[in-house]
Amino acid sequence: MVKNFEDMQKLGKDNMDATLTSLGAFSKGFQAIAVEMADYTRKAFEDGTAAAEKLFGAKSLDKAIEAQSEYMKTAYEHFVSQATKFGEIYAGMAQEAYKPFEATMTKTVVK
């Protein structure tokens, strides 16, 4: 009976440790996402401001359309690049958050 109680205590402790480690991985991941989002937002604002200045400074309709097209193309490329980066961060965060539970489950199943 005491052995079972000790095993349950150890399992509870292992699960708590795994949970705390997992929460740490989530915390780091969300911090990375916040930094990336702030950088992307700042860059998008700067690019938008520069494009607006270029657009308002255009001397002809052709130049205005060219400036707008150029801005839309680069904005789309930056968006796709950033979306890919966010996907990689989320995938990495999920893998890191799962690792502690994987180790705990392997120990539990092997016994």
> Residue 11 is part of which domain span?
2-110
* pLDDT of res. 3: 73
Nearest-angstrom CA–CA distance, 50 and 73: 14
Task: Collect the ranges in the chain with pLDDT lower than 70.
Answer: 1-2, 104, 107-111
29: CB partners within 8 A, 6+ apart: 89, 90, 92, 93, 96, 97
> Based on the structure, what is the number of domains in the chain?
1
* pLDDT of res. 15: 81
Continuous segment of H or E residues that includes residue 111:
none
Nearest-angstrom CA–CA distance, 48 and 71: 8
For the chain, helix (H) and strand (E) counts, in that order, are 2, 0
* pLDDT of res. 2: 62
Give the pTM.
0.72
* pLDDT of res. 111: 55
